[in-house]
Structure 1
């Protein structure tokens, strides 16, 4: 191990956005935990209020600031860290470290760069330079050339020939490629790319649209020992961004020759660039001509490494942290959550299939172009795990639909003309259109030609339809029910096809012992003796999951990221799990988001990757017999049905809509309070604003600033009114009373549960974890002493601002006044002009 490193500055990922969600923060937590085991002090800069990693370091090591070169420079000069780690912060962290290297800040302060050598860092995020290096290595790359002016772009594109791909050089945001079929498309793309590039440059490259996209995730130690963790196969071809594609692990349509060639190339790239830790390499595979291209080199944590880690059970982030410090793979010791006994030098083997399904924001941003292209639109994703591709596909699809009754949306409304159009120019509902086309009798070879999707997957879709027809043809048949469940059909889906109620399906299953068996997710595919804490269901003979404890809390996750609650919901879940463990419970969670921090083994005792639907939840309950089930407040149907079965349900986070009582649809002031049966505790008084100042509706209130600018008299009147109101209208939990100022007086505007984003703000501003307080309240642990000891100062003058962030730039729609339902993330700042300027 590198014994000269005692203090490391980790660059965080900043606010959640399209291109990264909670996977960067989850990886950062695991890295910090690894460093802590080695006695290394971790410093962290991030301004994401939903960061679990910020909660994992001491306050003196926490820098809640924007991730900029200037801020990082100041921290380096003041704290003098021994090393800096950019690989947990995504594209922005890489860009900052490139600038620190170019300006000499790292050299002047003797700061080591971890994970990526200095000479390799200079080419990352520069498509032309990285292609030049790959070409020198005699690796196949796409013809490309950089341009700095529109005239150069027109000339280069004309020489290469349309269609072309445009990429910004050293992008400030994770935008990737833009496909251009015409000169007009190219001019528009280059104009955007110049703005997104740190150097005002773009790369024009040859289009390879239609080829198969394959990703390889590997790790490498300082001695050059390398392992391939997983291959990832995009069902959609090149031309649809991998973040918008259905992705499968392991690769299912590659020959062994193709697989080994891409594996060898991944290792060759790692050696030539001398990377340490995680590597994620993208390829375009032309199986018809036995050729391939290297399309992207990502030597840092991202959604691909998060997916590979989840599907294999291999702790990529934790192991990478050890490798950054020159620990050899043979010497890495795993934490307690990983109980398999084989050497870390064994490449993972999978005995299950995982499918990742994207989730898009178009319902909340309807003006965005919904066509899938080389620019990413998805804000989240869900995964399904099963013994077969069919089971994994259906589980992922059921999870992404978010239907309370576990039914899939039908596209039978489409005309044949619309079907053809959507096959050629796909929209977000792509997989449903593919299934509908097969249902109408389109041939697989026709569909393959139109979509460039491998016929293997159409065979799987076709088999799903065959099972669907079998279900329809034999209602109430237990043998058919077993087959339906085996291939991923949920109880709600079967009930709809049989035209019976949900409980009838459950009764038939129970009477004929058609119960799920749970299989562990670990890297050996049961080839070696091992134990795991992560499970998925199928319907076979051997069950590997038994009741964890008689004192268990079951926590239902939020599934895939969406606009609105977004990353704040996963932050809430992780803090719930911490408190439940502290309160003495064993914790079990169900989630389907491979990026979720709440799936970390260090935070929960047992994990199920299952659709968060009624039937799947009841199956887990039958195994675990939890003392309490925590259900998110937005899952009304699930809550109602679980309670109807006399199960011990607690709703956290609280329902954010149904418990609001509003007098006006606008407000300027918010007072947050923690309320119990005996106590009313004022926490914070904030000014509420939109990005453009005063808001005309509550949905525009996306900025919170404290201290409020109210007068002392207004302040006192608000506190007095709030106390009296809650005495007359009892509530419990965290609530926010809203006020407007009219003619100098504070007028009551309504009451609502404190929003999840606001709860994160309260945590950071007060230093009290209010999520944990809500959990303790639900468990009956709040007492007089606890309330009396709360270190609150509601009249504090400490300046703090929380501001919602929006996906408009990534979705390529005009900047506008964003609504709370359109927030993709948020940023927080304390007492600096940069972060507290409401007009920024």
Structure 2
């Protein structure tokens, strides 16, 4: 097995590893049952009535001076898989899965020279620059093909997305026609993308869409393009359909309460198999307790996207639009957000505000930990010592804070993973650069500046509580001084230099 064969298995629904194992044991292809349909054999080539687009995920922004050009050596740290009935639908889904943006001209505006250089020598930023070339620079297919060598078929699909943008630009939310809005959704536009064009809220677009009776359909990945009835609920959404596929399996027990579990999304630095493990174990426990489990995830590298690990698998975005739609369609009893890590946490507040029943760790607790301002304020209220800090609300306040505490200063954005855009700065120029980067990474949440204590020791404490009582804990000491992220630090357990008095203070803080 390889990464490619694992991806092919998820894309087609054909259980390659299972079939290969049975072949190794001497079974014949025509004797092996296709577990997806339950009534055909493995002796066939999968038929697809949908389009799959795989896009890699890079984390090059975390490395200064790194060569971002793509070549024969793999540089990605993860991948996503978008599924739809049109290329545009699957393509835009997969782009949003990677970075939250579809085929959009976002970020810094590149010059024509920079665009031509990117087209000729591609980097991890190629899709964004291609969008600028088509949407802003009005480059034609021939010019782009000449410089990039991208097949004209793919470029023509990107220009079809441009056509939708042009139709949206001459419309408004109030007078947009059913055909234009439906066509936009069929070409992969999210409600959020459309809202940006109309300068309105995402909820306004959803309400308008529902008023016009434009809803997605849920289709099955069944390996046979609907020729035979499928026994699994391996699903994806599309606006290129009139009705949902029939799900005639174990999940038709209407006496069971349904619980949605959010997976971890793409792998990147700081988020890997550990969150997927949590999601899978949560799903297994809920099934044992008699609940119907519904997994939402889009990472083909994970166990949670194996169709037999849950009663239903939606291979979909972990966006508010997608999760809310699935939750309401399934009439779910509740949703588990806290097992998937950073990406589900980012939409927790919106899901809670929309009325979804959040199970497990509360949204209030998630927000208190993710929001740097709220967390630091909580420490102050509890009289727990911490370095001096301030919310980066205005240049004057920042300057006053710097004059009071002096450099170095730690810049800490909220709702980020593995220290993204978190840096120790020693001068004003670097501070301004870091504030810009932090605002780009987490624009909707506060940035906190903290006085950085040099030559300090750093300790990790992992603890478990039940009904408000501390059950167990582990104290790990960093070999490196404070300033090295715990993911890159060498940790020692048990700690080697922490005194008993210091341990007592830590336990008091935990309690």
Bin the TM-score by the shorter chain.
Answer: 0.7 to 0.9
- Residues 638 and 671 from structure 1, CA distance in 2 versus in 1: closer, same or farther, beyond 3 angstroms? closer
SS at match of 2:478: strand
- Residues 314 and 652 from structure 1, CA distance in 2 versus in 1: closer, same or farther, beyond 3 angstroms? farther
Bigger fraction of residues in strand: 1
1:485 pairs, out of 185, 189, 192, with 185
**For the Cα contact (< 8 Å) 1:407–1:492, is it kept in 2?**
no
**For the Cα contact (< 8 Å) 1:535–1:609, is it kept in 2?**
yes
Q: Structure 1: how far apart are the matches of 2:99 and 2:141?
A: 25
Q: Structure 2: how far apart are the matches of 1:705 and 1:334?
A: 48
2:472 pairs, out of 682, 687, 705, with 682
Q: Structure 2: how far apart are the matches of 1:381 and 1:652?
A: 28
Aligned pairs for 1:721-800 within 5 A: 721-727=505-511
* CA apart distance, 1:722: 4.1
**For the Cα contact (< 8 Å) 2:105–2:132, is it kept in 1?**
no
Aligned pairs for 1:277-316 within 5 A: 301-316=1-16
The equivalent of 1:544 in structure 2 is 245
Q: Structure 1: how far apart are the matches of 2:54 and 2:352?
A: 31
- Residues 545 and 484 from structure 1, CA distance in 2 versus in 1: closer, same or farther, beyond 3 angstroms? farther
The equivalent of 2:326 in structure 1 is 620
Aligned pairs for 1:409-424 within 5 A: 410=106, 413-424=109-120
**For the Cα contact (< 8 Å) 1:673–1:682, is it kept in 2?**
yes
2:171 pairs, out of 474, 478, 481, with 474
* CA apart distance, 1:443: 2.3
Aligned pairs for 1:622-661 within 5 A: 622-631=328-337, 632=340, 634-635=342-343, 636-650=345-359, 657-658=370-371, 659=375
**For the Cα contact (< 8 Å) 1:392–1:488, is it kept in 2?**
yes
- Residues 324 and 339 from structure 1, CA distance in 2 versus in 1: closer, same or farther, beyond 3 angstroms? same
| 1:517 pairs with 2:217 | yes
SS at match of 2:60: coil
The superposition leaves residues 162-210 of structure 1 with CA deviations (integer Å, 9 ceiling, x where unpaired) of xxxxxxxxxxxxxxxxxxxxxxxxxxxxxxxxxxxxxxxxxxxxxxxxx
The equivalent of 1:673 in structure 2 is 463
* CA apart distance, 1:412: 6.7
Q: Structure 1: how far apart are the matches of 2:66 and 2:329?
A: 44
Structure 1 gaps, min length 5: 1-300, 728-840
1:699 pairs, out of 485, 490, 496, with 485
The equivalent of 1:82 in structure 2 is none
Q: Structure 1: how far apart are the matches of 2:183 and 2:206?
A: 15
Give aligned pairs, total: 416
The superposition leaves residues 41-66 of structure 1 with CA deviations (integer Å, 9 ceiling, x where unpaired) of xxxxxxxxxxxxxxxxxxxxxxxxxx
SS at match of 2:259: strand
SS at match of 1:598: coil
Q: Structure 2: how far apart are the matches of 1:407 and 1:552?
A: 34
SS at match of 2:473: strand
| 1:455 pairs with 2:152 | yes
Q: Structure 1: how far apart are the matches of 2:341 and 2:26?
A: 46
TM-score, scaled relative to structure 1: 0.47
The superposition leaves residues 602-626 of structure 1 with CA deviations (integer Å, 9 ceiling, x where unpaired) of 3211111111111111111122122
The equivalent of 1:575 in structure 2 is 281
The equivalent of 1:149 in structure 2 is none
**For the Cα contact (< 8 Å) 1:351–1:387, is it kept in 2?**
yes
SS at match of 1:696: coil
- Root-mean-square deviation over aligned CA pairs: 2.5
* CA apart distance, 1:531: 3.2
The equivalent of 1:378 in structure 2 is 76
Aligned pairs for 1:148-163 within 5 A: none
2:94 pairs, out of 372, 392, 396, with 396
**For the Cα contact (< 8 Å) 1:574–1:597, is it kept in 2?**
yes
Say which structure, 1 or 2, has more relative contact order (CA 8 Å, 6+ apart): 1
Q: Structure 2: how far apart are the matches of 1:407 and 1:499?
A: 18
The superposition leaves residues 763-797 of structure 1 with CA deviations (integer Å, 9 ceiling, x where unpaired) of xxxxxxxxxxxxxxxxxxxxxxxxxxxxxxxxxxx
The equivalent of 2:295 in structure 1 is 589
- Residues 682 and 370 from structure 1, CA distance in 2 versus in 1: closer, same or farther, beyond 3 angstroms? same
Q: Structure 2: how far apart are the matches of 1:432 and 1:340?
A: 43
SS at match of 1:601: coil
Q: Structure 1: how far apart are the matches of 2:41 and 2:341?
A: 43
1:359 pairs, out of 50, 53, 57, with 57
- Residues 557 and 407 from structure 1, CA distance in 2 versus in 1: closer, same or farther, beyond 3 angstroms? farther
- Residues 506 and 551 from structure 1, CA distance in 2 versus in 1: closer, same or farther, beyond 3 angstroms? same
The superposition leaves residues 287-314 of structure 1 with CA deviations (integer Å, 9 ceiling, x where unpaired) of xxxxxxxxxxxxxx12211211111111
Q: Structure 2: how far apart are the matches of 1:583 and 1:574?
A: 14
**For the Cα contact (< 8 Å) 1:474–1:480, is it kept in 2?**
no
TM-score, scaled relative to structure 2: 0.75
**For the Cα contact (< 8 Å) 1:552–1:587, is it kept in 2?**
yes
The superposition leaves residues 445-488 of structure 1 with CA deviations (integer Å, 9 ceiling, x where unpaired) of 22222212111000000001111211222222233221111111
Q: Structure 2: how far apart are the matches of 1:347 and 1:527?
A: 13
Q: Structure 1: how far apart are the matches of 2:246 and 2:358?
A: 23
* CA apart distance, 1:601: 2.5
**For the Cα contact (< 8 Å) 1:379–1:563, is it kept in 2?**
yes
- Residues 365 and 578 from structure 1, CA distance in 2 versus in 1: closer, same or farther, beyond 3 angstroms? farther
* CA apart distance, 1:570: 1.9
The superposition leaves residues 486-527 of structure 1 with CA deviations (integer Å, 9 ceiling, x where unpaired) of 111001001111111111111112212111111101110012
Question: Considering only CA atoms, is the larger Rg found in Structure 1 or Structure 2?
Answer: 1
Q: Structure 1: how far apart are the matches of 2:61 and 2:54?
A: 20
- Residues 366 and 383 from structure 1, CA distance in 2 versus in 1: closer, same or farther, beyond 3 angstroms? farther
Q: Structure 2: how far apart are the matches of 1:667 and 1:447?
A: 54
